[in-house]
């Protein structure tokens, strides 16, 4: 039973906080008109859900996390022939990459590259496992309520709707491409892309401060007075709770910064914990009551947010550094370089994970610390 409680508590903590983090990216992207094709509770995999506003909301079997698929975040310059491939696919509705190659007068490889990027944009649907050939489809297209109201007000026919894979007229290929391009992350100016990247961290920190306010103001906390040793249950003012929240955030920033100081790096890693430690502490906080559990979630949310600011791809901080580099040099980082940086970053985190996992096994399982 203890193990089940531990798994449940850890799933709630990590799943909810990563979901909140990705929710920040989702809200910022949609606020700037960027398409988000999926918003899932759980890690990528088989999923169930519903579609609203062009976004599929749902859950996957792997609940330790969440993700938002923001369109147009692929690195490097745009592939050539996107406009021609987009128009050809919409005219056909359903097509193989060979069909698009013939229609556009390009090679099959060029057709494949263009179609795959359009899939990343949400402007085309990828082939399914049931397709005998690599078959791409034009996405479902429904007029927005705003467009319907505008047509009704002007006394014009309602805009047409098209099913998935249904052929549709393309009177202006340039206008179609521009409409799709404007819904991509890559079409935004630097400051809007930066907001999308840091929005997840901002939401994690806002949640932490709000949780501190709820715990210290509404629930209260036990305080021991130094001079008398007396323990009293105290309710703090909202301002005091907010001040404590920012104080704690500053302490976490200082601790994470210790990773970059050779004199403190070892101690910082030793004081950190892996998913095993989080699971054990989640259970303890869960059993201690709602206040303790919410306080623990606030602490983990702060750590998750600050760690994501590290300038290491594929973390948000790493992507932000790349955006700054591209802005200053006016050169785009290629896919190969981005993949290389991401692999190096993942290798570094695997090393940290192995060290912290060993620490947690020694500490919580074997009881050697």
The burial of 122, by beta-carbon neighbours within 10 Å (0-12 exposed, 13-18 middle, 19 or more buried), is given as: buried
pLDDT at residue number 6: 83
Pairing of strands 135-137, 94-96: antiparallel
| pLDDT score, position 1 | 64
Q: What is the mean pLDDT of each run of 10 residues along the chain (369 residues)?
A: 80 87 96 95 86 89 83 90 96 95 95 96 92 90 79 80 92 95 96 96 96 91 75 86 92 84 74 76 86 91 91 87 90 83 82 75 64
Provide the phi-psi class of 186: left if phi over 0, else alpha when psi is between -120 and 50, else beta.
alpha
The set of long-range contacts for 221-226, using a CB threshold of 8 Å and a minimum separation of 24, is 221/291
Q: What's the confidence (pLDDT) of residue 118? A: 97
Instruction: For 182-330, list the strands marked E by DSSP.
Output: 221-224, 231-234
Res 154: pLDDT: 80
Return the sign of the alpha-carbon dihedral for residues 81, 82, 88, 92. positive
Q: What is the torsional sign of CA 348, 349, 354, 358? A: positive
3-state secondary structure 72-127: CCCCCCCCCCHHHHHHHHHHHCEEEHHHHHHHHCCCHHHHHHHHHHHHHHCCCECC
What is d(CA 108, CA 97) in angstroms, rounded to the nearest whole number?
Answer: 6
Question: What was the pLDDT predicted at 208?
Answer: 95
Q: So what's the pLDDT on residue 4?
A: 85
């Amino acid at each position: 039973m203890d193990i089940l409680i531990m798994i449940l508590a850890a799933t709630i903590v990590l799943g909810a906080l990563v979901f909140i983090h990705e929710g920040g990216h989702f809200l910022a992207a949609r606020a700037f008109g960027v398409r988000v094709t999926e918003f899932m509770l759980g890690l990528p995999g088989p999923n169930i859900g519903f579609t609203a506003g062009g976004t599929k909301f749902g859950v996957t079997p792997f609940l330790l996390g969440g993700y938002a698929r923001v369109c147009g975040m692929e690195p490097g310059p745009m592939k050539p022939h996107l406009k021609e491939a987009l128009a050809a696919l919409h005219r056909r509705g359903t097509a193989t990459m060979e069909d698009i190659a013939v229609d556009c007068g390009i090679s099959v490889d060029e057709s494949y590259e263009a179609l795959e990027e359009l899939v990343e944009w949400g402007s085309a649907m990828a082939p399914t496992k049931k397709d005998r050939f690599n078959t791409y489809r034009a996405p479902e297209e429904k007029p927005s309520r705003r467009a319907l109201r505008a047509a009704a007000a002007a006394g014009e026919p309602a805009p047409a709707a098209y099913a998935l894979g249904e052929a549709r007229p393309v009177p202006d290929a340039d206008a179609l491409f521009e409409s799709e391009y404007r819904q991509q992350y890559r079409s935004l100016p630097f400051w809007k892309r930066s907001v999308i990247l840091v929005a997840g961290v901002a939401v994690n920190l806002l949640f932490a401060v709000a949780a501190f306010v709820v715990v210290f103001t509404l629930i209260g906390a036990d305080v021991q007075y130094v001079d008398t040793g007396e323990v009293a249950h105290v309710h703090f003012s909202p301002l005091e709770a907010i001040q404590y929240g920012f104080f704690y955030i500053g302490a976490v920033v200082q601790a994470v910064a210790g990773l970059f100081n050779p004199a403190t790096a070892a101690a910082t890693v030793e004081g950190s914990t892996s998913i095993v430690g989080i699971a054990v502490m989640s259970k303890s906080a869960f059993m201690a009551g709602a206040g303790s559990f919410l306080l623990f979630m606030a602490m983990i949310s702060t750590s998750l947010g600050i760690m994501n600011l590290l300038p290491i791809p594929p973390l948000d901080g790493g992507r932000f550094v790349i955006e700054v580099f591209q802005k200053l040099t006016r050169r785009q980082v290629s896919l190969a370089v981005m993949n290389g940086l991401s692999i190096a970053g993942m290798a570094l985190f695997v090393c940290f994970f192995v060290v912290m996992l060993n620490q947690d096994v020694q500490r919580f399982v074997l009881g050697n610390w």
